[in-house]
Amino acid sequence: MSIAGKIFLAVERAIKRHCQCMQIFSSNPRAWRHSALEEKDVLEFKSRRQNAHISPLVIHAPYLVNLASPSQEIFQKSIILMRDSLGKAEILEADYVVFHIGSHGGMGAEFGLERICEALLGLLLSAYTRETQILLENTAGSGFFLGSRFEEIAIILEGLAWDERVGVCFDTCHGFAAGYDISTSSGLEQTLASFDKLIGIERLRLIHANDSTYALGSRLDRHEHIGEGFIGMKGFERIVNHAGLKDLPCILETPRMSFEDDVRNLDRIKRLSRV
C-alpha cells in the first residue's frame, strides 16, 4: 500500500481493498533520502490498523538497499536505510522488515555473502530489532544478485548463528524465475523439501504472491497478475492450499494500473483458498 500523503492513509487504502494484512515501504523505495514519522500520524496509523484488524504489518526496505555492495559508500548508505526501516517498524509495531539480499557487483558470491552477514550482525545488535523480524527475500538471480538459491540464504543464516530474529520471505515470481518449478505439484513439493532441508520450513514467515511474466528459470524479475503468468491459476491454487503454506500471510505485488487491478488480484487468490 502507498504511504503517499499521510502514512495512516495506507490503512484506509488497505481497508478499501479488503486486505487482511498489508505491506508498506519505509520511505521512497528509489531514493536514499528518508524522513522521520510524525507522532500524531503514527498514533493514527496504529489506531486505524487495530480497528481494521490488519495483521501482520510488513515494511519493505527501499530497493536501493544493497548490503552486499563492494562500494563502501553504498554499503554504509544501505545500513542507514535498513536502520531507518527497522526503527520505523518498531515505532509502527510492524511484524517484519523485508529486504532484497543484494548484488556483489562482480566481486563474487563469497565476498557478497560475508558482506551481508557483517551488516546484519551489526543491525541485530541494534535495539530496533527486539520485536521486529528481518526477512531475507529470495531473488530471481539476474546479474550478480545473491539469494536466488536456498543454499545462499542458508549461508547467510548460518553466518548469523541462525538468529531467531531473521527469517525468509519467499517471492513466488522470483523463485520461479530462479528455476524452482512451483507451478506443478511435484515441483512445489521438491521446492519446499529443499527449503526445509537447507533452511527449515519454520523460517518461512511470509509469501510475496506474484505470477511470473517469463518462463521457468528466466532469471527475469517481472511480476504478472495472478493466474495470467507461467505459474498459473492451478499453481497458485496448490500454493495457497498447501499444508505447509496455507497459514502464512501473502502479500501481493502484482502490476497496478488501477484500483481495480488490486481488487481483481486479491479476489482471485482469495477464491482459490479452500481454508
Residue 128 DSSP class: G
List, by residue number, the catalytic residues: 30, 60, 63, 100, 137, 171, 174, 208, 221, 223, 253
Dihedral angle, C-alpha 118, 128, 203, 135, nearest 10 °: -70
Q: Which three three-digit cell numbers place residue 41?
A: 500520524
CA pair distance 268, 229, nearest whole angstrom:
13
- Tell me the C-alpha distance between 32 and 58, whole Å: 20
Q: Which residues contact 50 (CB under 8 A, 6 or more apart)?
A: none
Measured CA distances, 119 to 71, 113, 123 (Å): 13, 10, 6
Helix axes 185-198, 232-241, angle to 10 degrees: 40
Burial of residue 56, with CB atoms counted within 10 A of its CB: 0-12 exposed, 13-18 middle, 19 or more buried: middle
Question: 10 Å Cβ neighbour count for 28?
Answer: 14
User: What grid cell was written down for 109?
Assistant: 558470491
Cell of 78: 544501505
